[in-house]
Structure 1
Amino acid sequence: MERTETDTPLSRPDRAIGRPADLAAPVLSLRDAALAYGDRVLWRGLNLDIRPGEFLAVLGPNGSGKTSLLRVLLGRQQLTAGSLTVPGCSPRNGGRHIGYVPQQTFQPAHTLLRARDLVRLGLDGHRWGLPLARRAVHRRVDDLLAAVGAAPYADVPVGRLSGGEQQRVRIAQALATDPRILLCDEPLLSLDLHHQRTITGLVEERRRSTATAVVFVTHEINPVLGLVDRVLYLARGGYRIGPPEDVMTSGTLSDLYGTQVDVVRVRDRIVVVGAPDAGTGHSHADGAEGGEDQ
């Protein structure tokens, strides 16, 4: 399928730096980017600039390439075509500029890895050569845990923490290198409404206070709808980019899917009806999909 794109300049002022975000230099750029597995094209012709303080939500059905996009941004997977630059350098050299919150995976209760150990891995787990001074590392880890409200269980094994507590620790780990870009891969999965609000609040606080750009892969836009500047919606090998009010419409999604899709707004929620899940022929009614992605 040929790519489809609606890319509208940011109309919302950047909350963190007090000026339109589209005037700032990008912290990440994709140019004519494509990703395919054999003959199966996930997306192609993708042109995307992400700027300081921007909140980009990435939506789409299973198999549309949302998680694969994050792997590309992390430098863990190569593009089939096109180019990517992260803070003016190649992805491989831009790792310290990027924080990553992976999909939630529960650790066994008997694991010896404590919350503070997981955060420390984000601070110096990638380093070669002489280690950082122990006292400085300990102080930095304590500060990170305190910042996300995880200090009370700093020495508790990760496997004994609740899903919400584990996600707090993973955010602390992602922030260890003071990143300019925060990549979040389905961070709200399996969390109740209270913990969803806590996690989105932590991400938003980081964005507001430091102008960190956020790329937030999610199966459901409603928990972050009030925070989103733009949506990247991936489907059927094509995509749409733009503000939520431009992308999350019946006309736009029907064109993208090649079939009738109805978008209904109920109070402050968006409900998508009739969008077929990739590879299943089923429909969903929540704005995107759940489960694993490529």
Structure 2
Amino acid sequence: MHTSPPRPAKPQDNAIIFDDARVTRGDRVIWRNGSFSIPTGSVTAIVGTNGAGKTTMMNVELGLIPLSAGSVTVLGSPAGSANARIGYVPQSYTSEVDANITSEQSVLLGLTGMRFGIHPVTRAQRDKARRAMEFAGIADRARYRLSQLSGGQRQRVAIAQALVSDPKLLMLDEPLANLDLASQRATVHVLARLNRELGTTIQVVAHDLNMLLPILTGAVYLLDGHPHYAAMDEVLDADLLTHLYGTQVQVVTTPQGDIFVTPSPDEPQDATQDVHDPTEVAQFHHHHGDRPRRVDHDEEGRQ
């Protein structure tokens, strides 16, 4: 897919700007020639095969991995210098946090850092933690130890911990991995509210796009050693996705209007599916607010 060069960007209308960025590990180039901008207020996925450098890209944006060429600007500053305004949820959150602390104590770590237990927690900090937990839909589990929570509940505690410092940018590494369907939907619902109600820019490392499709505005895709950025109507291209994942992929829609990115040819023989070419997908986006829309079951009564 051909993409035109990015227009000159201003820090205030782009949350993240890559300029000919390259990352190497030893003598091996992880990816190179990264030049793109991610708009402020967007919800973006980082997609690619295992080993393509998805988590590496997020670590570059956090200033944790140095570039071997080029530059990355995040929230108007060089990567790593604006981390106080970034909320980060690592994939390994649940294994790195002491499972004996309560949900509230975990969220407070987002304000106090590793000083927890040494300095007293103020009423203002507790109020802030409670608001973050309410937003993440986990306030009723404030007194529960992390070991008592399900994987989905722990994921929402992790999001609340990242939210408690009022970040402008929220970054999540595989937030839906190892969660059941209901927990995935609950997590996506929190992200949708964050973006819609608070205007938070969100970036998600994702292996599977399906559950995120209702909220995504674009994607960074790592293909052939180069990172690219495109809006979702360009990313939902069967040929591109087939190349990206190394297996035959179709972009399909159901009679209910759901869009799915689906492997083929293992579809049920009796399934009624309408396979769209990229032009049809682009037209769908144009008529539906420029983003994929999937009707959740709990919304059907409100349509």
For the aligned pair, the TM-score class normalised by the smaller chain equals 0.7 to 0.9
1:181-216 CA-to-partner distances (Å, cap 9, x unmatched) read 110100001111111111011011001112111111
Any stretches of 5+ residues in structure 1 without a counterpart? 10-21, 275-294
The normalised TM-score by structure 2 is 0.75
Mapped to 1, the partners of 2:12 and 2:240 lie a distance apart of 28
Give the superposition deviation at 1:63. Answer: 0.3
Letter in 2 for 1:166: R
Mapped to 1, the partners of 2:244 and 2:141 lie a distance apart of 46
Give the superposition deviation at 1:235. Answer: 2.9
Task: Note the 1:77-116 alignment, pairs <5 A.
Answer: 77-107=65-95, 111-116=99-104
Partner residue in 1 for 2:262: 271
Give the superposition deviation at 1:265. Answer: 2.3
Give the superposition deviation at 1:249. Answer: 2.1
Mapped to 2, the partners of 1:76 and 1:182 lie a distance apart of 16
- Please say if 1:229 is aligned against 2:226: no
Give the superposition deviation at 1:108. Answer: 9.7
Partner residue in 1 for 2:279: none
- Report how many aligned residue pairs link the two structures: 257
Any stretches of 5+ residues in structure 2 without a counterpart? 254-258, 266-303
Q: Which moved more, 1:242-251 or 1:60-69?
A: 242-251
Partner residue in 1 for 2:30: 42
1:112-166 CA-to-partner distances (Å, cap 9, x unmatched) read 2211111111112178xx9686111111111111221211211211122100100
- Please say if 1:51 is aligned against 2:48: no
Superposed CA RMSD in Å reads 3.1
Letter in 1 for 2:249: V
Partner residue in 2 for 1:149: 137
Distance 1:5 1:111, change over 3 A: same
1:35-73 CA-to-partner distances (Å, cap 9, x unmatched) read 121232221111122222101111100000001111111
Mapped to 1, the partners of 2:31 and 2:263 lie a distance apart of 21
Mapped to 2, the partners of 1:215 and 1:149 lie a distance apart of 20
Q: Which moved more, 1:108-117 or 1:225-234?
A: 108-117
1:80-114 CA-to-partner distances (Å, cap 9, x unmatched) read 21111222222332011111111155459984221
Partner residue in 1 for 2:3: 6
- Which structure's CA Rg is the greater one? 2
Q: Classify the secondary structure of the residue corresponding to 1:177.
A: coil
Choose between structure 1 and 2: higher helix proportion. 2
The normalised TM-score by structure 1 is 0.78
Give the superposition deviation at 1:220. Answer: 0.3
Relative contact order, higher structure (CA 8 A, sep 6+): 1
Task: Note the 1:210-225 alignment, pairs <5 A.
Answer: 210-225=198-213
Q: Is the 8 A contact 1:109 1:157 kept in 2?
A: no
Task: Note the 1:194-213 alignment, pairs <5 A.
Answer: 194-213=182-201
Q: Is the 8 A contact 2:11 2:76 kept in 1?
A: no
Of all paired residues, the percent bearing the same amino acid is 33
